[in-house]
Each structure stands twice: as structure tokens, then as C-alpha cells.
Amino acid sequence: MKKILKNIASQLHLWLGVSSGLVVFIVALTGCLLVFEEELEPVINRSFHITSVPSGSGRLSLDSLTQVISTEYPNNKLSRIIVEPEEDRTVVFGLKQGKSEKELLSVAVDPYTGKITGSRQEHDTFFEVVIRLHRYLCMGDTGKIITGISCICFLVIMITGLVLWWPGRKNRKQRFKVKWDASPKRLNWDLHAVFGFYALPFVFLIASTGLVWSYKWVNNLIYLAFDGKPQQKREAPSNLISSAASVTHYQQILNKTDQLRSHTGKVTFTTLDTDSLSITVAKTDDEAAISNIVSFLYFDKNTGSLISTRLYENETPGFKARRVVFPIHTGSLLGWPTKIIAFIAALITASLPVTGIIIWLGRKKKRKKKVQKAISQSSLVETEVAVQKGVL
């Protein structure tokens, strides 16, 4: 029975690995980059995000910065505003260029001088491309199906890999350490099996949380488990005053947000391009024990008055559980320690299809040699028999 189980696991591990290996390699490699997206983005695009802080000079109001954008881009509708907590960061405005979010133009403004420091098509930025490659292989819905199936295959591969790795009494020690001075063939096997074993708990967690973005039923399963019902659709409430606004109230809204949520964190204004709905302001809590803690506040677009709030502490268990999925998947849950673990786990994952293919090709070559040797021995025996019979 044990032998049959091993044979089944071996076949599943092999053929699922061969069929999904390239996708796993791409997803894992892009995942390595995305672990440090927050740290790398200001470095890669420094002039877009970073500005100098002049001594003795205060920040301009958010309304003044918005006026700069309106003057420079009169034909574009304002869609969002991002205000980072760091003093040396620019304020980034998102402008719609069409009906699709893919056509969003991001414009960075120096909050001290009001000068526009850069603009870019958000869809074409480096990390946006990396994210599309990671989630959809840059192939839209078709790519989403492929990555989703590959993710499930990889979960099965990890389970079958553990079955194949499971040591007997005689070889228990060698399954826990890499023999660095071994032959290239043995070293490659150790890199695949031993590294794969140590990374398995982390990679399994990362891969299983990734299913949330591939399948809606997995996302709803979280809410069903914690709230007893599927995710409820939420949107910003309507404005209290229906008349069109003649002035902006963004600085007033920002001040009120900071008053209600005094912790440090990024502030994001959205639903700015919808006249009937109130402004949604999301503020992250950078002082929380874990990342991705966000509270939502809704302000009347025409008066800047607070309409309602969705504070994180009042959210449902399902919402809180869903919010923690992203930092678990990216490794940002507890900051640098978990990010380093996620990066190493993703790097090992990217190596597994490579070392696995090398093992497979080596076995194919070995089998081919065995077949050739058997054929050659068979021919030799036939020749000897023929000689003995006097045929040759």
C-alpha cells in the first residue's frame, strides 16, 4: 500500500510539475519583487515620489495642490489623491483619461512648492506590469484561469512532494541537510528536496492565500467562515447636499481624518469622479501590530462634512480576516522579518521547477541508457545463440 501511494504521488508530482512549472517559476520570481514593492518603488522612481523638505517652509494646502492639477489638466477628471505620511514624499493625483482604470494618469506634485515633479501612465509602470505578470501572466482573464489552475496544481505538488520526501529509518539524516560536497546530480536533488521541505510551510500558506484572487468562492469562504454569510457589497453613501460643489474641501477633509485617526499612515481619497457619491477616505494604520489595517471615512463632496465611518475596530471578523490575507500572501504581515521569510520562500519556489526539470531529464537519460544497454545485451545474446546454432 505504501509503495502504491508513493507511485501515485510520484506520477502526480512529476506531471503536474512539468505542466505548471513555467507558470510557477514566473509567479514565484515576480513574487520576489513584489515582496519589497513598497521599499523599491520610491527607489526606482525617486524623482516621482521623493522631494526635498525646505527649512522653515510649510506644506501648501491640499486644495491649492488640487488647483494646480485642475489648471494643468483641465480636461481630466480627478479620480484619487494619495497623501503619504513621510514629509519628503510628493502628493500623487490620479486623473481619468477614459472610462477604464487602465487609462489612469498619475501626477506627482511637490507639497511645498506646488510644482509638478512628474507624471506617468499608471498601467505602464514597472510594478503594475510585475503585478499583472504575477496574477494574470499579462493575459487578462485567460491568464487568471491559468495561474489559478497552476496554483492548485502547485498545492498538490507540495503535498505529493512531502510524501516522496518522507524519510525512512535509514536515510532520515540526509533528508534534512544539503550535502554541498556531493556530486552535481546529488547536490541538485538535495537543493530540490531539502530546500523544498524547509520552505513548504511558508510556500503552502502563500500559495493557498493566492487562491483568494483567483476564485471568488475562496474569497466568499472567508466571510462565510467568520461572518456566516458571503461578502456584502459596500459603496460610499450619497452626498447629503445634492448641489454641485463650487469649491473643494480636501484640506478640511484631510484635517478631520487626521483628527479622528491620529495614527500615522497613508491617506487615500477615492470616488472623487462620482458626483452623487460621497468622498471615500481610507487611512492605513502604520502603528498597528500587523499591516493592512485600514479605516474608511465618508465625507460630503459639497460641504466636506463627515457623513459616516467604517472604523477597523468596528468591522466584522470576516472583513478583518480578509484584510490579513494580503499581508500573509506578500510577507508584509509583521514587517521586515516576515518579508525576508517570504522573499526566501519565493526564491526557493522559483528554483524548484528548475531543479525538478534537471532531476526529470537525468532520469530520462538514465532510463534511455538502460534501454539501450538492454537492447545491446539482447542483441549480443541473439548473436551468440545464432553462432552456436551455426547460423552465423
Q: Are 160 and 13 in contact, with CB atoms under 8 Å apart?
A: yes
Report pLDDT for 233. Answer: 85
CA distances from 360 to 15, 27, 77, 193, 324 (A): 10, 21, 56, 13, 38
Query: What is the pLDDT, as a whole number, of residue 42?
Result: 95
Kindly report the length of the chain: 392
Instruction: Compute the distance between CA of residue 249 and CA of residue 79 in angstroms, rounded to an integer.
Output: 15
- What is the residue type of 248? T
Convert the pLDDT of each residue in 344-374 to its tens digit: 999 999 999 999 999 988 877 666 666 566 5
The three cell numbers locating residue 147: 495561474
What is the sign, positive or negative, of the torsion defined by CA atoms of 321, 326, 331, 333? negative
Q: Give the span between the Cα atoms of 372 and 385, in whole angstroms.
A: 20
84-93, 100-109, 122-131, 332-341: the lowest-pLDDT one: 100-109
C-alpha radius of gyration, the chain, whole number: 29
Q: Model confidence over 160-214: pLDDT tens digits? A: 999 999 877 677 777 888 989 889 999 999 999 999 999 999 999 999 999 999 9
Strands (E), the chain: 77-83, 91-96, 105-109, 116-121, 267-270, 279-284, 294-299, 306-310
Give the pLDDT score at 191: 93
pLDDT exceeds cutoff 60 at 380: no
pLDDT mean across residues, the chain: 90
Per-residue pLDDT band at 246 (split at 50, 70, 90): low
Domains in the chain: boundaries: 1-45+134-213+337-392
Angstrom distance (rounded) from CA 130 to CA 26: 10
pLDDT, mean of residues 18-28: 96
Tens-place pLDDT, residues 295-306:
999 999 999 999
Of 4-8, 208-212, 374-378, minimum mean pLDDT range: 374-378
Over residues 114-130, mean pLDDT: 95
Three-state SS for 155-221 is HHHHHHHHHHHCCCCCCCHHHCCCCCCCCHHHHHHHHHHHHHHHHHHHHHHHHHHHHHHHCHHHHHH
What's the pLDDT score for residue 369?
60
Rounded Cα distance between 85 and 87, Å, is 6
Mean of the pLDDT values across residues 334-339? 95
C-beta separation of 250 from 215 below 8 A: no
Please give the backbone phi and psi of residue 358, each rounded to the nearest 5 degrees, phi first: -65, -40
At 100 the pLDDT is 64
Among candidates 66, 58, 45, 49, which has minimal Cα distance to 108?
A: 49
pLDDT band at 383 (very low <50, low <70, confident <90, very high): low
Residue 65 scores a pLDDT above 70: yes
With cut-offs at 50, 70 and 90, classify the pLDDT of residue 379. low
